[in-house]
Amino acid sequence: MTTNVQATVRAGTYTIDAERSTCRLTATHVFGLKPVDGTMAIRSGTVVVAAEPRRSTVSAEIDAGSWTTDDARRNNDVRGKHFLDAARHPVIGFRSTRVVHGSDGWQVIGELSIRGGSCEVTLQLTEAGPDRFTGTTRVDRVAAGVSSGRAIIGRYVDVTVTVVLG
């Protein structure tokens, strides 16, 4: 889906409204059993929309201890030292390195930092409005530094982030 960001979002610096923004994650068990859907809270962030959209930037922080699913035991395991280690690494960060426009629309490319490691991710924008952006990406959790549990959970996590600008 091609999104005309320039026509719908005014240039300026915006704060991400953490209360109205969401981060949804889907992973599968290693044998392809039922998917595991979870959410995480966005702590804070800034979106700078430049007059030339390719010069725009995004930074955001996600609360690693806010991982929530329908299973309290799983939540504790994921927040614990073998996965996110939220006690020692309470923040998951994203900092854009570039914004590009291709045949599939706009992409925000940047570094995702998790528990002391980092990897490059590409957020494909699927929605851009006057006060809201939605992007999707697939994170290789092993490349990002979350290598425990290979026999329990699949390597890739699909992420959908919707940020509402304040």
Rounded Cα gap, residues 12 and 56, in angstroms: 9
pLDDT in tens, 59-111: 999 999 999 999 899 899 889 998 999 999 999 999 999 999 989 899 999 99
Kindly report the pTM of this predicted structure. Answer: 0.90
pLDDT in tens, 67-78: 999 989 989 988
144: β partners? none
Could you give all domains of the chain from N- to C-terminal order, each with its CATH number? 5-164 (2.40.128.110)
